[in-house]
Amino acid sequence: MAFALIFMPMLMAGLAMAIPSNRLRPWLLPVAAAAHSGLTIYVLMRAELQSPSPWLVLDPLGRLILLVVSGLFLFCSIYAAGYLKYRQERSNRVFCACLLFFLGLMSLIAWSHHLGLLWVAMEATTLVTAPLIYFNRSKRSIEATWKYLLVCSVGIALALLGTFFLAYSAMQGGCTPSLLLEDLVACAPRLSKTWLRAAFILLLVGYGTKMGLAPMHTWKPDAYGESPGVIGAVFAGCVTSCAFLAFLRVYQICAAAGEGVFASRLLLFMGLFSMAVAGLFMIGQRDFKRMLAYSSVEHMGILALGLGIGAPALYGSLLHVATNAATKGLLFLSAGNIHRAYASKSSDQVSGALRRLPLSASLFFAGLFAITGSPPFGPFVSEFAILNGAFAAGRFLVAGLFLLFLLVVFVGMGRTTLKVCLGRAPRADTEAVEGIAYRDTFLTVAPIAALMAIVLLLGIYIPSPLGAMLSDAAKYLGSSI
């Protein structure tokens, strides 16, 4: 079953390369995504299918991430089919193939219990997503792609060095050198502390680059800003969740080795620093896609912070993976629609979006409140759980700074979003909107509305199967602390 989830999208990618029709090819995306989601749900219900080999094990954390990325990808793929209708002037062969291959790699990341294999898959996601950023073929998108490739390749190379350090610390501790998660956790108390700490720092920097934690976030605003909205959604929801999973593996080993305090101190610092940097850059940010990129930096900071707080906040952090993915998905997709309609992503040119695009803009507007943690949306519940955890752990300073940064972010995001959504729409005959015939269509709005429904649902009531999954995952992660 693992092989079906991993190789089916990759085969579909090959098929996408072979299909000659630019009009039919995008429909392969929702087909493959729906099949992937179906298989995912089937695997989640059948526990006996979840460990086909020692290398591929779907543990509670993997289950959660697999569900999140598969679900978000499904909505993004439907949107992509609608989006690519507008971009028929350009070949979408590479775009579709890379996106499908990427889905297969994400499955591999969720299943992988071998840290070497995990690294290979993470590095491969960097490579297949680079052409996606370059889809618009403009000078600006070349620049963004170059920065992304260079920063992430170097970051991921450091993660490989960190992975090697982990195996070497096992060797120094007298265990058989291995990169299997189970072996490393079993050997954890004997791991050489110096090498383990060095490994943790390298892996934090490496996978942190992919997540977009500050100060390794520099590629993020460029890449998210210059790529199509749907790619922003896939990055902010899927790539980051996978990188977070990779990082959770490392954290498990570190905690099992009794280095939890060292790890949590670093995580708290990185988390708060990311939130602070994101907040600073969001104030006065005119480009609404870059604003969303900084918001992603902020939310990665929240995930690191929740992990750093430890056991009481784990449930909240894991729930935040899901709520962040859904909310970021809806924000990037609706921002993509607004960008398309105005041919600009600066709040200097874009105003009155609520009149010009009532559906997309109202979803974008509601998304602002969701992502900044207002009730009754999902992120409120998860952020509140993390805050509760911080108080329960007695970390009052951390909790205070967390609230302060959330406030800064709310002010920063609020100003830009209000300017975009409210006010008068430019008249149809002015040059700003000349020749642009974008109107909301079913394919480009329905996925956003569905994501909004999920965000609302998670805010009001967490379905019991999901709740059980989250508790399992938190317990699994907490047992190693």
Partner 1 sequence: MIDLLNALLVIVLAMNLFALGTSRIFSVIRIVAAQGALLGALPLLMHQRLSLPVAIAAVAAVALKGIVIPSIMMRALRDAPIKREVEPLIGLLPSIVLGALATAFALLISGPFVNADRGASALIVPASIATILIGFLQLTTRYKAISQAVGYLILENGIYIFGMLLVEAIPLVVEMGMLLDLLVGVFVISIIVNHINRAFSSMDTRRLVSLKE
Kindly list the residues in this chain that would bind partner 1 in the complex (CB under 8 A): 114, 116-117, 119-120, 123-124, 126-127, 130-131, 134, 139-140, 142-147, 149-150, 153-154, 157, 160-161, 164-165, 167-168, 170-171, 176-179, 194-195, 221-222, 225-226, 281, 285
Residue placing its CB nearer to partner 1 in the complex, 154 or 446: 154
Q: Give just the sign of the alpha carbon dihedral 352, 357, 361, 362.
A: positive
Distance CA 244, CA 371 (A): 19
Q: How many CA atoms lie within 13 A of 161 on its CB side?
A: 13
Q: Which is nearer to partner 1, 130 or 292 (CB)?
A: 130
Alpha-carbon gap, residue 132 to 320, rounded angstroms: 26
The Cα 320–Cα 328 span in angstroms is: 11
User: Could you tell me the two tokens for 468?
Assistant: 């059980």
Question: Which of 120, 392 has the CB closer to partner 1?
Answer: 120
Query: Taking a C-beta distance cutoff of 8 angstroms, is the pair 249, 473 a contact?
Result: no
The CA-CA-CA angle for residues 388, 396, 280, to 5°, reads: 95
Nearer CB in complex with partner 1: 55/384: 55
Give the list of residues 6+ apart from residue 231 with CB closer than 8 angstroms, or none.
Answer: 129, 132, 133, 135
Minimum distance between the CB of residue 143 and partner 1, rounded to whole angstroms? Answer: 4
The CB-of-320 to partner 1 minimum distance in angstroms stands at 27
138: left (phi over 0), alpha (psi -120 to 50) or beta: beta
- Residue 297 or 477 having the CB closest to partner 1: 297
Q: Please, which residue, 223 or 309, has the CB nearer to partner 1?
A: 223
Closest distance to partner 1 from the beta carbon of 198 (Å): 9
Question: Minimum distance between the CB of residue 67 and partner 1, rounded to whole angstroms?
Answer: 25
State the nearest-atom distance from the C-beta of 176 to partner 1, in Å.
7
Q: Which is nearer to partner 1, 195 or 244 (CB)?
A: 195
3-state SS class at 180:
strand
Q: Shortest distance, CB of residue 451 to partner 1, whole angstroms?
A: 28
- Nearest distance from C-beta of residue 216 to partner 1, angstroms: 14
Comparison of 33 and 253: residue with beta carbon closer to partner 1: 253
User: Which CA distances in Å does 279 have to 305, 321, 445?
Assistant: 15, 20, 29
Degrees, nearest 5: CA angle 193-195-196: 60
Shortest Cβ 177–partner 1 spacing (Å): 4
Identify which of residues 115 and 335 has a Cβ nearer to partner 1 in the complex.
115
Strand partners, 287: 346
How far is Cα 97 from Cα 185, in angstroms, rounded to an integer? 37
Residue with smaller CB distance to partner 1, 116 or 478? 116
d(CA 332, CA 95): 18
We find the least distance from the C-beta atom of residue 410 to partner 1, in angstroms, to be: 20
* Nearest Cα residue to 159 out of 238, 86, 247: 247
In angstroms, the Cα distances linking 94 to 83, 158, 226, 444 are 15, 28, 17, 21
Give residue 1's identity as a one-letter amino acid code. Answer: M
Structure tokens at 135: 């889809």
Closest contact distance (angstroms) between CB of 3 and partner 1 is 14
